[in-house]
A and B are shown apart, each in its own frame.
Chain A
Amino acid sequence: MIDYHALAPDLIMAGTVLVVLVVDIFTRHERKYLTALTAMAGIVVASFPLVTLGFSEVGARTMLDGSYVVDEFAIALKAFFLFVAFVTVLLSFSYIEGDRYYQGEFYFLLLSSILGAMLMASARDMVTMFVALELVSGPAFLMAGWRKGDARSSEAALKMFIIGVLSAAVFLFGMSLIYGATSSVLFADIAAVLSAADAAIRPAIILGVLFILVGFGFKVSAVPFHFWAPDTYEGAPTPVTAYLSVGSKAAGFIGLLTMLYQAFRPVADIWGPAIWIIAIASMTLGNLVALRQENIVRLLAYSSISHAGFMLVPFAMAFVYDDAGLDQAFSATITYLIIYGIMNLGAFGLVIAASRRVGSGNVSDWNGLGQYSPDLAILLTIFMFSLAGVPPFAGWFAKFEMFRSVANAFSGSDGAVWAAVLAGAAAINAVIAFFYYARLVVAAWFLPVKEGFVPRTVSVAPSLAFALSISAVAVMVIGVLPWLVSEVSQFSTLVAGG
């Protein structure tokens, strides 16, 4: 039986995707902004059934023999993705309109990608998940190459495409191994088989799990599968970069976590240590390279690699956690992901706005921003310190939950040393990260304007200003009242039952 109430958000988004194309056909050139308005209207409408689903008493709604589940976890994440879509449309609006071509197609692609992310939140089998994952990535390749005339934009798209295809192949190979070993694609069934699997098929399981891990590693740009990200992020149009670093990355994370958590939970001893290494490598390498960046978008690209490391930290101790500990790790990562998404969107929005004003995306050109544009400089301060995890901005709670999860591992005696190293690495990295975020703040407030520099007299587009305001308000409110996010993440632990 199909539960249309449960499917309504996804169906509305799918419908909106098509309506945007139709609107595009029937509007004249100078009225193409209607496509963006259609997209936003669709997003808003799609959020209504999410609200009613959130308040319904039915609980988890399972469809298609358990392949597709709409539970509180899925609802919360769908809401998050709709928020991301909304903000991304706002960020893109003035940027894409400035280019004056293919506006309708842009929003069509963006919404398709978001639809994939929404499916991802509900996918509970390997095939559905693969389809969702590719639906997220496919449109993203095209969006990355949006500025056709720009060689770097084309390079960005090409790099992302080749890596995307590679990771899809690796991912599929891993899935086929797991399917061979367990003869099921459903996560719940896989977990059941794995917990009772005999030693003979263990090599196949190990290989399968690791291949899937590598596939996701590319998607979330964790070290050592990260090298495409900085080039792609720098070359792609900045609103697209914002989306890649938040929306498509979050979708990858959700897929990874759901899979590890639901399907591969019995074999945490295989993937736990691998995640431990990836987490430390991502945090450290991302941070150290970010220290050397002159271009702000590249800096944020490396910072997003290091954030991927931080997000994996809670799962790195999976091999010592009991069930409650694993639940908590899951909710810590989701909390981190949501807060990171909001503040990173804000940060990229700020980069779009300030780069226009300054006329450059290099740190040293931003000197003295606070003197001629205090409002942008205040926003910069909020987002950078939030990314650095300084209270009272939202980022502190993300880091707090991450540390809480690691501290939990101290109670298990066998993992204490591993946990201590991990916690120490995370703590030191949190300090290093502050250093490069502070560089931007130092440039904006502490340093004088470069001699002979004249800022441009462009005002911030209203849509962009709106996006920046909602992100900034969200960052500050969540910083003071973090339960707004933590309650949502708590739902996600219910996924354990599935």
Chain B
Amino acid sequence: MEWFDSGWGLTLIVFIPTVAAAILLAIPRSEEGAAKMIALVASLISFFLSVVAIFQFDFGRADQMQLGTKLEWITSINANYAIGIDGISLPLMVLSTFVVVLAIIYSWDHWPEPHNPKAFLILILFLATGMAGTFVARDLVLFFIFFELVLLPMYFMIGVWGDKQQVTLPIVNRVVEMRLYASIKFFLFTLFGSAFMLLGFLALYFKSGDSQLGIRTFDIEVLSDIATRVDPGFLGSAAPWIFAALFLGFAVKVPMWPLHTWLPDAHTAAPTVGSVLLAAILLKLGTYGFVRISLPILPEQSMNWAPIIAVLAVISIIYGSLACLAQTDMKRLIAFSSVGHMGFVMLGISTMTTIGINAAVIGMVAHGIITGLLFFVAGSMSHRYHTREMSRLGGNLKLMPVMGGILGFTAMASLGLPGLAGFWGEFMALVGAFNPLDGLDLTLFRTAMVIGAIGTVLTAGYLLWMLQKVNLGEPKAEWASVELHDVERTELLAWVPLLVAIVALGVYPKIVLGATDPAVANIVENITRAVGS
């Protein structure tokens, strides 16, 4: 498979969806069947190729970039089309192609209003390119392009197919539809963060020219190499500023408290598939940025900022959980739960230990499949009940046993039940916090661990509370005369793979950790060397 390993495989994984989107543009809007088929086939090919990538991937060298290539792109600034995957990006790339397939299957007969499958599928396919592309990019400019590429499709998804409920805006006191408010808020927050992120990238570029290497570069590996081996002090006094700029870009995306406010609005307003993709993949772009760029290129600053990140992560955990308990809207509750779960991921990263960063990556994957499934179920339920108000729901298990069962199971996974996927990320993050990297404040991190542990209890609390309100009890009288059908074929087709993945990852976390561990160990080793020297 020479052609696959030399970069073609990854290129096809990333760009086949774009090609399919271009084909969709050309076919008439009325040909819905053809549009669906083309999109499904394209996403399946992309997923199939990413499975091939697993087999072509050399797990013995998981700490190195593989299956990649490097072609000249914008020569005047030495930016290249450099792609490749290591043990950290592999699981995330597979996750992204996997979830896209399921999103298209689920969409098969669940089209949000206004019905327009062709346009909706085109947006999903563009998203697929942006998401997979971010995980394979090895060049900062390329990373930036893919990172931004996901904004437009998601913006349109929320704005056109989103929630039409009227809301009153804070401060200006104007009444607008939820989708309009949420879409622009989502875009402005992310754009604001990424403008500063871009400045940070540029500063790295210029500083690398002043380093002992003497060449200006956007190459992530080369920059990491300068930071950890060639010339660790190359950023000089600009380092804290550069870290802050990158932090802003990534933290908005994660999102970390207090930059999270776009998330509940965007998740709640987005159509089901939009929420799934947002939760399952888009949030990971931020945490992935920390692991892939901030830690290896700015090890010393990462050390300095680690306590701040840990504190913000813990606040996110507690705040997210408490906010969940205050929700009446089921989808909004799940949205806020993401703030808490991503807090655990960030806590893992802030410990800067092998176990902590491994926890972060497996936490990302687990959150992707679990919360993705929760949003699927919540979407399907509101499709049937025409409401997401938990006070009106109840007795779901009696009305729709299979749906209720899946919801219950997924909620259990989300609260971190041992044996299911959600457990490892939380547990290992807390273990990491008990014993952070040498040089980090032990008291602070152990306090963070204790508060995080309280957070897991709160997480269990709000999820069980939700289950109690939605699933248990007697159905309300208003549903007696309503025809409610249980799960449909396409729903099962989309959800069963996720259920299987939740169990598999819970029982055998090595699926992810086996790939990530060498890569994470390499990062931590480099950090230790850079900080030590």
Asked if A414 is at the interface of the complex by the 8 Å CB criterion, the answer is: no
Q: Which residues of A contact B159 (CB under 8 A)?
A: 442, 445-446
A400 and B198 form a contact (CB under 8 A):
yes
**A184 vs B324: C-alpha distance when bound (angstroms):** 75
Asked if B238 is at the interface of the complex by the 8 Å CB criterion, the answer is: yes
- Determine, out of B143-151, B414-422, B453-461, the stretch whose residues face the partner at the interface: B143-151
**A411 vs B209: C-alpha distance when bound (angstroms):** 10
- Determine, out of A85-93, A250-258, A385-393, the stretch whose residues face the partner at the interface: A385-393
**A385 vs B153: C-alpha distance when bound (angstroms):** 12
The residue among A331, A434, A447 with the most chain B CB atoms within 10 A of its own CB is A434
B191 and A407 form a contact (CB under 8 A):
no
A483 and B76 form a contact (CB under 8 A):
yes
**A385 vs B73: C-alpha distance when bound (angstroms):** 23
Shortest CB distance B376–A (Å): 25
**A489 vs B187: C-alpha distance when bound (angstroms):** 31
Closest to B73 in A: A483
A391 and B149 form a contact (CB under 8 A):
yes
**A255 vs B195: C-alpha distance when bound (angstroms):** 30
Shortest CB distance B251–A (Å): 16
Q: Which residues of B contact A420 (CB under 8 A)?
A: 241
Q: Which residues of B contact A408 (CB under 8 A)?
A: 206
B195 and A391 form a contact (CB under 8 A):
no
**A442 vs B77: C-alpha distance when bound (angstroms):** 35
Asked if B322 is at the interface of the complex by the 8 Å CB criterion, the answer is: no
**A170 vs B203: C-alpha distance when bound (angstroms):** 39
Shortest CB distance B295–A (Å): 22
Given the interface pairs A390-B151, A407-B206, A483-B75, the reply to whether A434 lies near B187 with Cβ below 8 Å is yes
Closest to A413 in B: B237
**Contact among A407, A445, A486, A489 for B156, CB-based, below 8 A:** A445
Closest to B159 in A: A446
**A416 vs B199: C-alpha distance when bound (angstroms):** 13
B199 and A446 form a contact (CB under 8 A):
no
A403 and B188 form a contact (CB under 8 A):
no
Interface residues on B, range: 35 or more
**A487 vs B238: C-alpha distance when bound (angstroms):** 30
**Contact among A396, A406, A445, A487 for B145, CB-based, below 8 A:** A396
Asked if A435 is at the interface of the complex by the 8 Å CB criterion, the answer is: yes
Shortest CB distance B78–A (Å): 11
**A423 vs B149: C-alpha distance when bound (angstroms):** 23
A486 and B74 form a contact (CB under 8 A):
yes
**A385 vs B148: C-alpha distance when bound (angstroms):** 12
Q: Which residues of B contact A278 (CB under 8 A)?
A: none
Given the interface pairs A411-B207, A427-B195, the reply to whether A445 lies near B151 with Cβ below 8 Å is no
Interface residues of B in 141-168 (CB under 8 A from A): 141, 144-145, 148-149, 151-152, 156, 159-160
What per-residue 1/0 map shows which CB atoms of B374-410 lie under 8 Å from chain A? 0000000000000000000000000000000000000
Interface residues of B in 190-210 (CB under 8 A from A): 191-192, 195-196, 198-199, 202-203, 205-207, 210
Q: Which residues of B contact A411 (CB under 8 A)?
A: 206-207, 210
B191 and A410 form a contact (CB under 8 A):
no
What per-residue 1/0 map shows which CB atoms of A457-479 lie under 8 Å from chain B? 00000000000000000000000
Interface residues on A, range: 35 or more
Asked if A282 is at the interface of the complex by the 8 Å CB criterion, the answer is: no
SS of B interface (majority): helix
Q: Which residues of B contact A427 (CB under 8 A)?
A: 192, 195-196, 199
Asked if B184 is at the interface of the complex by the 8 Å CB criterion, the answer is: yes
**A406 vs B73: C-alpha distance when bound (angstroms):** 22
**A385 vs B155: C-alpha distance when bound (angstroms):** 12
B188 and A434 form a contact (CB under 8 A):
yes
Asked if B179 is at the interface of the complex by the 8 Å CB criterion, the answer is: yes
Q: Which residues of B contact A428 (CB under 8 A)?
A: 192, 195
Asked if A147 is at the interface of the complex by the 8 Å CB criterion, the answer is: no
**A486 vs B76: C-alpha distance when bound (angstroms):** 7
Q: Which residues of A contact B187 (CB under 8 A)?
A: 434, 438
**A137 vs B73: C-alpha distance when bound (angstroms):** 39
Given the interface pairs A404-B205, A410-B206, the reply to whether A431 lies near B188 with Cβ below 8 Å is yes
Closest to A434 in B: B191
Q: Which residues of B contact A430 (CB under 8 A)?
A: 191, 195
A483 and B199 form a contact (CB under 8 A):
no
Q: Which residues of B contact A442 (CB under 8 A)?
A: 159, 180, 183-184
**A489 vs B191: C-alpha distance when bound (angstroms):** 27
**Contact among B76, B183, B210 for A487, CB-based, below 8 A:** B76
Given the interface pairs A407-B199, A410-B206, A427-B196, the reply to whether A396 lies near B180 with Cβ below 8 Å is no
Interface residues of B in 33-63 (CB under 8 A from A): none
Asked if A482 is at the interface of the complex by the 8 Å CB criterion, the answer is: yes
**A392 vs B18: C-alpha distance when bound (angstroms):** 12
Given the interface pairs A390-B152, A407-B205, the reply to whether A431 lies near B184 with Cβ below 8 Å is no
**A410 vs B202: C-alpha distance when bound (angstroms):** 10
Q: Which residues of A contact B77 (CB under 8 A)?
A: 404, 486
Q: Which residues of B contact A391 (CB under 8 A)?
A: 144-145, 148-149
A407 and B195 form a contact (CB under 8 A):
no
Asked if A333 is at the interface of the complex by the 8 Å CB criterion, the answer is: no
What per-residue 1/0 map shows which CB atoms of A437-460 lie under 8 Å from chain B? 010001001110000000000000
Shortest CB distance B238–A (Å): 6
**A278 vs B179: C-alpha distance when bound (angstroms):** 38
Shortest CB distance B164–A (Å): 10
The residue among B144, B148, B203 with the most chain A CB atoms within 10 A of its own CB is B203
Q: Which residues of A contact B192 (CB under 8 A)?
A: 427-428, 431
**Contact among B149, B184, B198 for A438, CB-based, below 8 A:** B184
Q: Which residues of B contact A490 (CB under 8 A)?
A: 76
Closest to B241 in A: A420
Q: Which residues of A contact B188 (CB under 8 A)?
A: 431, 434-435
Shortest CB distance A466–B (Å): 20
Shortest CB distance A473–B (Å): 13
Shortest CB distance B381–A (Å): 26
Closest to B141 in A: A400
Q: Which residues of B contact A396 (CB under 8 A)?
A: 145, 148
Closest to A371 in B: B114
A407 and B202 form a contact (CB under 8 A):
yes
**Contact among B149, B191, B202 for A404, CB-based, below 8 A:** B202
Q: Which residues of B contact A407 (CB under 8 A)?
A: 199, 202-203, 205-206
**A331 vs B76: C-alpha distance when bound (angstroms):** 11
Shortest CB distance A296–B (Å): 19
**A447 vs B238: C-alpha distance when bound (angstroms):** 45
B144 and A483 form a contact (CB under 8 A):
no
Q: List 25 A-B contacts (CB under 8 A).
A: A390-B148, A391-B145, A391-B149, A396-B145, A400-B198, A406-B199, A407-B199, A407-B206, A410-B203, A411-B207, A427-B195, A427-B196, A428-B192, A434-B191, A435-B184, A442-B159, A445-B159, A446-B160, A481-B73, A483-B76, A486-B74, A486-B76, A487-B75, A489-B76, A490-B76
Q: Other than the known A390-B148, A411-B210, what 19 A-B pairs have Cβ atoms closer than 8 Å?
A: A385-B152, A391-B145, A400-B198, A403-B198, A408-B206, A410-B238, A411-B207, A427-B196, A427-B199, A430-B195, A434-B187, A435-B184, A446-B159, A446-B179, A481-B73, A483-B74, A486-B74, A486-B77, A489-B76
Interface residues of B (CB under 8 A from A): 73-77, 141, 144-145, 148-149, 151-152, 156, 159-160, 179-180, 183-184, 187-188, 191-192, 195-196, 198-199, 202-203, 205-207, 210, 238, 241
Leading 8 A-B pairs by shortest Cβ distance: A407-B202, A427-B195, A486-B76, A391-B148, A446-B159, A391-B145, A483-B74, A431-B192
